[in-house]
């Protein structure tokens, strides 16, 4: 039975745009997606805080005045029986990624972080930039794909990707891009099932030392 058939077995599945009330779930999705198949992700490492405080930071990040790619307005939510079960964000690359630093700074300032604390955070985060593969500014970017453990394998990510790609076509994008950690084979298979193929990979010893993964895959597909 394929994932789309599994979706039909659920009592009620709704794919919808996220709202402000979803920021707690979005925080969980961002943290979980960043971890991939590993114990810690970029925000765990960069913030160097207990999970509860990381989630609090991310909840604020999802509602900043700056509309970065972490902002709730960029997200789609899969509700099962009226409750959030999976999420992803999708956006035009040139609009979403460029405001990342400003959004993080907004949250840090709101938490009264000193300049030295913010500098230390970016130093811990620096390993990521050894492997980042920039998508073209006009590309449709998909990020932060995460499903609650009890709903994995039931086609929710596929349903979200279908909607995200439809939104990209409606925005007249010519291609879509998505990234994941090298070694996250389950995510790669899901994206390949949605028509993506690996376009590029980037590896660096600093990345592997920080995370345990050698780097990132960037997958792409045309519309």
Per-residue pLDDT of the chain (223 residues; tens, 9 = 90+): 455 555 545 569 999 999 999 999 999 999 999 999 999 999 999 999 999 999 999 999 999 999 999 999 999 999 999 999 999 999 999 999 999 999 999 999 999 999 999 999 999 999 999 999 989 999 999 999 999 999 999 999 999 999 999 999 999 999 999 999 999 999 999 999 999 999 999 999 999 999 999 999 999 999 9
Distance, CA of 194 to CA of 222 (rounded, Å)? 11
Contacts of 173 by beta carbon, 8 Å cutoff, 6+ apart: 92, 138, 139, 140, 223
- The domain total for the chain is 1
- For residue 173, the tally of other CB atoms under 10 A from its CB is 21
Domain of residue 61, CATH code: 3.40.630.30
How do beta strands 175-181 and 215-222 pair?
antiparallel
What Å distances lie between residue 221 and 96, 139, 141, 161, CA to CA? 19, 10, 11, 12
Q: For the chain, first and last CA: distance in Å?
A: 26
Residue-range definition of the domain harbouring residue 118: 3-222
């Amino acid at each position: 039975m394929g994932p789309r058939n599994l979706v039909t077995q659920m009592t009620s599945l709704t794919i919808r745009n996220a709202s402000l009330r979803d920021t707690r779930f979005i925080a969980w999705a961002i943290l979980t997606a960043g971890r991939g198949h590993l114990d810690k992700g970029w925000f765990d490492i960069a913030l160097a805080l207990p999970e509860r405080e990381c989630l609090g930071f991310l909840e604020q990040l999802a509602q900043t005045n700056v509309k970065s790619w972490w902002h709730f307005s960029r997200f789609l939510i899969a509700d099962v029986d009226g409750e959030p079960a999976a999420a992803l964000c999708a956006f035009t690359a040139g609009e979403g990624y460029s405001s990342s630093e400003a959004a993080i700074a907004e949250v840090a300032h709101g938490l009264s972080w000193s300049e030295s604390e913010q500098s230390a955070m970016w130093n811990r985060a620096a390993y990521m930039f050894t492997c980042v593969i920039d998508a073209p500014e006009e590309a449709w970017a998909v990020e932060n794909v995460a499903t609650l453990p009890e709903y994995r394998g039931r086609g929710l990510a596929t349903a979200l990707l279908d909607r995200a790609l439809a939104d990209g076509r409606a925005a007249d994008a010519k291609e879509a891009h998505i990234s994941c950690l090298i070694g996250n084979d389950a995510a790669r298979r899901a994206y390949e099932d949605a028509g993506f193929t690996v376009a590029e990979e980037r590896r660096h010893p600093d990345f592997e030392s920080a995370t345990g993964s050698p780097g990132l895959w960037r997958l792409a597909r045309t519309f």
